[in-house]
Structure 1
Amino acid sequence: MNLDQRINAFAKLGDFLSQFTSENFQKKDNVEHNELFFEGFKHQIKLAQEHNGWFTKKNLVFTFNSWSNALTTKNLSTWLETYDFNKVNTQKVAIIMAGNIPLVGFHDFLSVLISGHEVLVKQSSNDKHLLPFIAKYLEHVEPAFKGKITLTDQKLENFDAVIATGSDNTARYFEYYFKNKPSIIRKNRNSVAILTGNETEEELMALSEDIFRYYGLGCRNVSKLFVPKDYDFQPFFKAMYPWNAIINESKYANNYDYNKAVYLMSEFDMLENGFLMIKEDTSFASPIATVFYEYYDSTEALKTYIDTNLNNIQCIVSNGFNENEIVFGKTQQPELSDYADGEDTIAFLLKI
């Protein structure tokens, strides 16, 4: 199986997922193997929702839309055109996936297979319904994938390299356990937004997407704001308001009520609008329904601070702050070349 065949298979998967990009699923006549997979995937989506209350239909649809848009022949070819796949030494690569948002480990899964390797996946128990079905679909559109995809809930054995994602604590375990294997070990990271007070209403409304999508559970969600002294939060809260219905969703509301009670009992100063709290705090990771903020005195001082803390930061949302910034509203719509932690997964896979 050559690279073009692998690209073609994932492009067909993108076509399949395009049927699930709105809450009213639309079956298409030109999608391969729909008679086998369309109704089955609808059932897996239902199971995913029932199993994990954070995996709402709205968030699942957002995930499928993102991957459907990414998995086109043009996008895949553009992503991979700068790499040399002619000397790939096929290995079995283990992936330990997180389960905080739907299909959060799919980019690693895609990268391993598109590089010509075999994949051994240990899924999170929080996100175990979608990927096995997607793997079966890939095996049908490209039979050469059969035997190259293994999913397990047992101890990982007989693999040559590993990509593992977890907390800072589990990362230390991973680093010890996999010390003799080529590896990418990912730790906790969070995303930040740099505000100046000159943002447009449209930019702040776009920022609300970076904050609330997936309930803020992803490492690409903005959990921390850096704002100048005397920053006026009124425009910020106004821009957040279109998300007010999120408080009607029970898991989010329970977290909001709990964290608000903790802050009040601890007599912490915070501002809130009935569905979002903001609190001055130096930490990068904030609880659900909370965004931390920190004041800065000068842009140059802030740049120095950010540079010294890059290991804690996944995305920087801003307008004109630095060359690696992400525009407002786009943190959860990464390009295929936007690698987690800035570590080039394809380059790693091509040298193992």
Structure 2
Amino acid sequence: MTLTESKKAFIELGKFLSQFSLSTNEPNEAVLHNAIFYNDFITLIELSQSHNGWFTQKQVYFAIQQWAAALTPHNLDEWLKRYDLNTNEPKTVGLILAGNIPLVGFHDFLSVLVTGHKALVKLSSNDKHLLPFLANYLIAVEPAMADRITFTEEKMEGFDAVIATGSNNTARYFEYYFRNKPSIIRKSRNSLAVLTGKETTEDLTALGEDIFRYFGLGCRNVSKLFVPRDYDFKNFFEAMYAYKDVIFYDKYANNYDYNKAVFLMSNFKLLDNEFLTIKEDKSYASPISSVFYEFYDDIAEIEERLDAEHEQIQCVVGNSGIKNSIAFGQTQQPGLLDYADNVDTILFLSKI
């Protein structure tokens, strides 16, 4: 398959995905193969929460809309034009995918296929249904894809390179097991916000999107705040009130009750608004329903620390002037060039 053929298949997939949203599902007669896939995809979305209790329809539709927006001719061309993708010999790339948020491994899947390689995919048990469905749609659009996509539940064999995502503990196993193969091994990372105290209500409300989207389960979710020494959390909590309904979701509420109880039994000082606790803590990784915070005196000190600890950090949010910061509310809307762990997947795949 040529690059042009691969891109065309994903563009058609983007058109297919663009039909689905939380507010309305409206079939577009111009979309290919709707008679086969449209109704079944709606059914799959409705069943997603039965497959993974965190995959509510709201969260699944959000993930679908992000990929619908990304898979356009302009976006794909702008992404890929900086690479030389015409000299590869096709290789088989093993993908070990996470399952913390819907379609979290789609970027790796897309990257392997557009670079002309074959994808040997081992799915997380937490997200076993959405990607295979989309793969079947791609095959319907471009039958040659069938020879380039394999899903397996067995031990992966016969691959030339690997991209594996897991925890820090599983990463050590991956690094040993795949030591003789070209690889990208992704570990646990967290995202943070650096506040100055000058944020508007709109800024802080948008920050809530970075905190609560996907219930905080993604590595791009903000789990830590750096705030000035004299910071008043009143405005922060008032802005978070827009997300109060999260507590009505049982799995989130159970985590809130449990983690709050653990903190209180440990005599930790907490700030609490009945659906989110914030706790002073130097760690970047906070539990679900909680955000850690840390005071600072000088932005320069924070920037120096973030440089030193960059391997623990996925995103930095805010208007503080910290380099490579992204705007409030944008962490879960990455572009195709926003590579996980800042590792250029396409460059890696173009050289194996």
TM-score bracket relative to the smaller structure? over 0.9
Q: Distance in 1 between matches of 2:82 and 2:112?
A: 17
2:314 alignment partner in structure 1: 314
Deviation of residue 320 (structure 1)?
A: 4.0
Alpha carbons 2:196, 2:320 under 8 Å: kept = no
User: Which runs of structure 2 are paired with 1:253-272 in the superposition (5 Å)?
Assistant: 253-272=253-272
SS of 1:163's equivalent in the other structure is strand
User: Which runs of structure 2 are paired with 1:85-234 in the superposition (5 Å)?
Assistant: 85-234=85-234
- The CA RMSD measured in Å over matched residues stands at 0.8
Instruction: Provide the aligned length of Structure 1 versus Structure 2.
Output: 352
Alpha carbons 1:97, 1:164 under 8 Å: kept = yes
Residue range with higher mean Cα deviation, 235-244 or 24-33: 24-33
SS of 2:220's equivalent in the other structure is coil
Q: Distance in 1 between matches of 2:166 and 2:23?
A: 31
Query: Identity percentage over the alignment?
Result: 61
Alpha carbons 2:277, 2:291 under 8 Å: kept = yes
Q: Distance in 2 between matches of 1:320 and 1:250?
A: 36
Code of the aligned partner of 1:70: A
Q: Distance in 2 between matches of 1:181 and 1:20?
A: 39
SS of 2:181's equivalent in the other structure is coil
Code of the aligned partner of 2:275: F
SS of 2:28's equivalent in the other structure is coil
Residue range with higher mean Cα deviation, 36-45 or 207-216: 36-45
Deviation of residue 336 (structure 1)?
A: 0.2
Alpha carbons 1:23, 1:61 under 8 Å: kept = no
CA displacement, residues 96-123 of structure 1 (integer Å, 9 cap, x when unaligned): 0000000000000000001100000000
Q: Distance in 2 between matches of 1:144 and 1:45?
A: 27
User: Which runs of structure 2 are paired with 1:32-111 in the superposition (5 Å)?
Assistant: 32-111=32-111
1:346 aligns with 2:346: yes
1:290 alignment partner in structure 2: 290
Alpha carbons 2:281, 2:294 under 8 Å: kept = yes
Normalising by structure 1, we get a TM-score of 0.99
Deviation of residue 23 (structure 1)?
A: 4.0
Deviation of residue 26 (structure 1)?
A: 1.5
1:302 alignment partner in structure 2: 302
Q: Distance in 2 between matches of 1:86 and 1:127?
A: 32
Code of the aligned partner of 2:25: F
Q: Distance in 1 between matches of 2:276 and 2:154?
A: 40
Alpha carbons 2:188, 2:219 under 8 Å: kept = yes
Structure 2 unaligned blocks of 5 or more: none
Q: After TM superposition, where is structure 1 displaced by more than 4 Å over at least 4 residues in a row?
A: none
Q: Distance in 2 between matches of 1:86 and 1:137?
A: 25
SS of 2:316's equivalent in the other structure is strand
Q: Distance in 1 between matches of 2:123 and 2:213?
A: 22
SS of 1:307's equivalent in the other structure is helix
Q: Distance in 1 between matches of 2:6 and 2:51?
A: 31
Q: Distance in 2 between matches of 1:284 and 1:247?
A: 23
SS of 1:259's equivalent in the other structure is helix
